[in-house]
Amino acid sequence: MKLMFLFAVIIQTTFCTKPPGIDVEPDSHRIFKPGDSIVLDCNADGYPAPQYSWKKNDMVLDTSGFESRIWMATETGRLSITNLKHEDGGFYQCLAENQYGVSISNITFIQAAFFRDPASYPDMIYEPKLGDSFVLQCLAASSYPPPDISWVRESLGNLTPVRYDNRVTIGQDGNLIITNIVEEDRQDDRPYICKQENRYLQKTVHGRRNYIRPVLGLEKTRPVTLLSRSQSVVLGLLGEVFRMKCVFGGNPTPDVSWEKLNGNFSERHHFESYGQELVISDLLFSDAGDYECRGFNLQSVSVSSRISLTVESRPSWVQQPHDIQSVPGATVTFICQAGGTPSPQIVWFINGVRLEDVTDPRIISDRFLKPNEYNITLVNLTRDDAMVVQCNATNKHGYIFSDVYLNVLLPTRPPSISLQPPFDVYFKASKTVQLPCVADGNPIPQYNWKKDGVDFNPSGNDGRIVQLANAGTIVISKPEHRDEGLYQCFAENIFGTSLTIIINLKEAISLPFLSLPDQTYRPQLGAHLTLNCIPPMSYPPAEVYWVFKNETGDLTAFNYSKRVTMDPEYRLRITNVISEDHQGDLAYVCIAINSFMRQIQQSHRNFIQPWGTIEEKQPVSILWAPPSDYLGLLEEDLRLKCIFAGNPTPNVFWRRNNGSLPEHSEFASFSQELLIPDLRFSDAGEYECMGTNSETVMSFRRSVTLRVESRPYWIEEPRDIETSIGAKATFLCRAGGIPTPRIYWFINGVPMSDLKKVQYSMEIVKNGFEMHR
């Protein structure tokens, strides 16, 4: 195995300063009970250490001391408020300041919970006719958070929930709706009561008693009428769960159906409340349009109502500003671009002050440029240009906020990769994919990419591929098969080059199984049987299972047992066939699930039709066993599996020939699997699985010799070094592993063996080297 390390030498000759940056802040919304206490966290880094203050409703908040109800821990900025009062509600914001700038937190809205009982009304008696539709009003309480509303019945002082069905339901406004009155609605003269509960305050109120006493007479049929529905024009937010409801009256009880007038329903659409409610999970823009609910019974033509859905979204980042460290004389640009519906408004702040109100001479000079609302630029930086920049993107549904700094430093530092993707990155055709690459360093690094070992220019791809500003991250908006390959990002400044791991970008696929005819097996009762499964190509690798499939195509789970199991090569093994293995119209089917693609592929159908009248007794034989020489890796989980055929079903036993089984081992799959978690070197040895039943004179055995090796691991890892001119720097790189790892050195991303000219003399030392300037 090859083990590669990257390292950087940092020579720093001045003390490092940094504007503040808040990294711990409270939630955007907090609820409290009067009399309780609340803590709002705020903490920032920066050098010198920042000083903290708070604002409430954009006014400076007095946090003067421990004897006050409101005080702040000066070392962290944590704000504590005790014995909360209603007037403590409002908008709070933390500020962290040092001589290089002011960082501000998100705004936190603090709100007092309350629950005010609705007005008291006398009991009501209603006498509807049998078959009529009827609505009981729920007199809403004034509450925050909004109360949970349900309906109950009272009997001898006890309350029992009303059972909802397609005839009795609760509207979106909390009213109880009865589509047609029947005699049973009298409920032995037990009143109906609206129950409202504020769970935060743990307070419940019960409304007036409502008695339903249907007028005696024939139960009349009634045509369908619309009793309640969502508004005719409704608004949903992208990614949320959305509900719309229609309740129809009529006798007999109407059925309800839904239709999307400009498209079809998907797996994200489902129906609740006996079809009266359409629920859309993970709302998409494509869900916008006109929907029609329709009620119908046998007594009239159907009645329909149309609901028009508009989908909008909260702001989300298209390109978020990032901290920038630069050097005097450079030019820096902060980009703040957000999407959303409606389009967000972008507002910039400098050190917590709205850009339009800033009087800082650095900002009102000709060195400060604002070519459009999405970016600001400062040219010809000076040592005194350190500042904190904030960007707020707001629409009517909310806001997103970014607080970043500009730091101008004299110290220099080679690049160091701080963000990169894993080795395997998959994409779906035409679905945007990112390959992140971010490095820190001073001066700011420049980025380059290679694909399959050749220089790669992201901009030369018809605009499909862009590289983000101030970062090496590339975004492929419409990836194609030709974009597959091995990518590597290089971050370089005048002091060195840092590089990412090699990234394997691959198109996700989920191919179908080979088209094979359905297969019918006719084994003798008591014999063993194997059903083959050759999973199709899949990226990422698919998960493979066996299931039952009926004539309509529905799939049901398959329960494995000691008698029926799947081997590590996905074949279904039946150790002895019984008559119940004939599942009638149900077929045995192998499926491959690609979770990334959200696709399920199915093999051909397999049917089992055993023959014979008596299950023939069979001695034990081997169906599956691991190879006799087996390799396991240190600290990983190891599974050894043996499957034996025979009738009666064989029992499986495990033993270790050179000692007892490891104490941390366990059995799985009805003892067919020996599981050794967190494998150790001491677990190596010879293991044996044995199968036995009453028809076998001697146990059938299979031996496995387990070897344990390991991936490379650090004994002594190279470290970043900050030093001064004239000093000596030594990097040590020692690694262990079985087999023993080979050590390779790179300088600025180039293998040392390839360097033709190096500005250092090198003295090889044991497991490392020293570098002398």
Give domain status of residue 597, yes or no: yes
Q: At residue 176, does pLDDT exceed 90?
A: yes
Residue type (1 letter), 344: P
Handedness of CA 160, 166, 170, 176 (dihedral sign): negative
724 pLDDT higher than 70: no
Whole-Å CA distances, 766 to 397, 739, 769 = 63, 19, 7
State which of 84, 112, 140 marks the end of a domain. Answer: 112
CA dihedral 570, 576, 577, 580 (to 10 degrees): -90
Q: List pLDDT tens digits, range 359-410.
A: 999 999 999 999 899 999 999 999 899 999 999 999 999 999 999 999 987 6
Residue holding tokens 């440029």? 369
Residue 492 lies in a domain: no
Q: Are residues 296 and 164 in the same domain?
A: yes
Peptide bond into 414 cis (omega under 30): no
Reported in sequence order, the residue ranges of 25-89 that DSSP labels E, i.e. its strands, are 29-32, 38-40, 43-47, 51-56, 59-60, 70-73, 78-81
Q: Tens digit of pLDDT for each residue in 197-239?
A: 999 999 999 999 999 999 988 888 899 999 999 999 999 999 9
Cis previous bond, 536, omega within 30: no
Q: What is the pLDDT of residue 270?
A: 95
Examine the domain organization and report whether 180 and 265 are in the same domain: yes
Looking at the structure, tell me whether residues 181 and 288 fall in a common domain. Answer: yes
Query: Residue 419's pLDDT band (boundaries 50, 70, 90)?
Result: very high
Secondary structure (3-state) at 178: strand
pTM over 0.85: no
Distance CA 330, CA 317 (A): 26
Looking at residue 65, what is its pLDDT? 60
Does pLDDT of 461 surpass 70?
Answer: yes
Among 712, 736, 764, identify where a domain stops.
Answer: 712
- Co-location of 708 and 718 in the same domain: no
Average pLDDT estimate for 21-50: 93
- Euclidean distance between CA atoms 591 and 348, whole angstroms: 53
Give residue-wise pLDDT tens across range 232-279. Answer: 999 999 999 999 999 999 999 999 999 999 889 999 999 999 999 999
Mean pLDDT, rounded, of the chain: 90
Note whether residue 53 is domain-resident: yes
Averaged pLDDT, 659-686: 94
In 3D space, the residue among 627, 625, 626, 621 whose CA is nearest the CA of residue 650 turns out to be 621
What is the C-alpha to C-alpha distance for residues 28 and 57, in angstroms, rounded to an integer?
A: 14
Q: Is 689 left (phi over 0), alpha (psi -120 to 50) or beta?
A: beta
Residue 645 is part of a domain; what is its CATH number? 2.60.40.10
Instruction: Tell me, yes or no, whether 590 and 627 share the same domain.
Output: no
* pLDDT tens digits for range 320-332: 999 998 888 999 9
Is the predicted pLDDT of residue 347 greater than 90, yes or no? Answer: yes
pLDDT of residue 55: 95
Distance of alpha carbon 177 from its chain centroid, rounded? Answer: 39
Q: 640 and 722: one domain? A: no
The answer on pLDDT for 2 being more than 50 is: no
Q: What is the pLDDT of residue 110?
A: 96
Cis check for the bond before 328: say yes or no (omega within 30 of 0): no
Residue 9 in this model has a pLDDT that exceeds 70: no
The mean pLDDT of 539-565, rounded to a whole number, is 94
Nearest Cα to Cα of residue 291 among 341, 234, 241, 220:
234
369 to 52, 332, 364, 373: CA distances (angstroms): 30, 10, 9, 11
Q: Determine the pLDDT at residue 772.
A: 33
Same domain, 515 and 590: yes
Closest CA to 387 of 296, 463, 326, 314: 326
- Segments forming the whole domain that contains residue 385: 320-408
From 561, 584, 608, give the residue that closes a domain: 608
User: Is the pLDDT higher at 94 or at 724?
Assistant: 94
Model pLDDT, residue 117: 82
**Judgement on whether residues 749 and 698 belong to the same structural domain of the protein:** no
Shared domain for 194 and 135, answered yes or no, is: yes
Q: According to the model, what pLDDT value does residue 68 have? A: 78
Which one is predicted more confidently, 12 or 422? 422
Number of domains the chain is built from: 6
Domain membership flag for residue 573: yes
User: Is 41:35 a contact under the CB 8 Å cutoff?
Assistant: no
Do residues 427 and 433 make contact, with C-beta atoms less than 8 angstroms apart?
Answer: yes
Residue 467, domain member (yes or no): no
Residue at 601 is within a domain: yes
Q: Quick one: pLDDT band at residue 67, thresholds 50, 70, 90? A: low
pLDDT at 616: 87
- Mean local confidence (pLDDT), 509-524: 95
User: Is 404 within a domain?
Assistant: yes
Whether residue 241 sits in one domain with residue 362: no
Q: Which residues contact 185 (CB under 8 A, 6 or more apart)?
A: 178, 212, 214
Q: Do residue 156 and residue 73 come from a single domain?
A: no
pLDDT of residue 502: 94
| Residue 554 sits in the same domain as residue 670 | no
Length of the chain: 773
pLDDT tops 60 at residue 7: no
Residue 444 lies in a domain: no
pLDDT over 90 for what percent of the chain?
A: 77
What angle (nearest 5°) sits at the alpha carbon of residue 296, between those of residues 295 and 301? 115
Q: What is the largest CA-CA distance in the chain?
A: 109
